[in-house]
Amino acid sequence: MEIHIISIVPELLTSPLSHSIMQRAQQRGLLSIHIHQLRKWAINKHGQVDDYQYGGGAGMVMMCEPLANAIDELQAEQPFDEIIYMTPDGQRFEQRTANQLSLKGRLLIICGHYKGMDERIREKYVTMEISIGDFVLSGGELPAAMVVDAIGRLIPGVLNDETSALFDSFQDNLLAPPVYTRPANFNGMEVPEILLQGDPKKVEDWRYEQALKRTAERRPDLLNKHENG
């Protein structure tokens, strides 16, 4: 998979995407991440990529020309399967969206900044708008890094255990069950006996029951989605 990211502050993306699982994914050649500084396509020698908004009001707006030139140049190499804009008013990012995007071959993510970008770019180029929650950050870089991480770990071969991602929270609209490791007894607190017996079917059933219980307690809103598939 190939992911391109357009940002005004690319430095914010360097660390999150250069370590741990994302680093291994790139080293193995399973994921290619390209971060582009929008100022490369600035309208003047001062690196301008934003301007005041028509109609007045506080906050700058990302301009059409730099974004259009950046997208056109990057897309000329090969069309993108999705052009994603990170914005607070986008659709809420969920596991099923990550699952769908992980099957794509080439993505472009645009990090919003200031008051956002000129609406005409959204209308002409953007195919998907994503929000990570009902709150506002200084820019779309950190949300973009989260989306790339969520997508990248689903690519076959990225995780050492191919089945690991299938049991994460929100797969099948359930929270993940409790997990334990050694020692079996920690300060008098015991690991559930069923996990020590070595019966895979009983362990699977126990984990499903625990996932249902935890979801009912913490996110009852998910149960209806789970029951309706």
pLDDT at 226: 82
Q: What is the pTM of this model?
A: 0.89
Please give the residue range of the domain that contains residue 26. Answer: 2-152
Residues 6+ apart with CB under 8 A from 111: 5, 6, 7, 8, 9, 13, 86, 139, 140, 141, 143, 144
Question: Is residue 10 domain-shared with residue 104, that is, in the same domain?
Answer: yes
Question: Is residue 27 domain-shared with residue 124, that is, in the same domain?
Answer: yes
Question: Is residue 146 domain-shared with residue 173, that is, in the same domain?
Answer: no
Query: Is 62 within 8 Å of 118 (Cβ atoms)?
Result: yes
Residue where a domain terminates, one of 152, 185, 218: 152
pLDDT at 165: 62
pLDDT digits (tens, 9 = 90+) for 156-174: 999 976 556 655 656 788 9
Question: Is residue 147 domain-shared with residue 190, that is, in the same domain?
Answer: no
pLDDT digits (tens, 9 = 90+) for 71-101: 999 999 899 999 999 999 999 999 999 999 9
CATH number at residue 100: 3.40.1280.10
CATH number at residue 201: 1.10.1270.20
Opening angle at CA 142, ends 10 and 177, nearest 5: 145
DSSP symbol at 33: E
pLDDT at 169: 58
Question: Is residue 102 domain-shared with residue 15, that is, in the same domain?
Answer: yes
How many CA atoms are closer than 13 Å to the CA of 65, on its beta-carbon side?
11
Report residues of the chain scoring pLDDT below 50: none
Query: Is 52 within 8 Å of 58 (Cβ atoms)?
Result: no
Specify the pairing of strand 50-52 against strand 60-62.
antiparallel
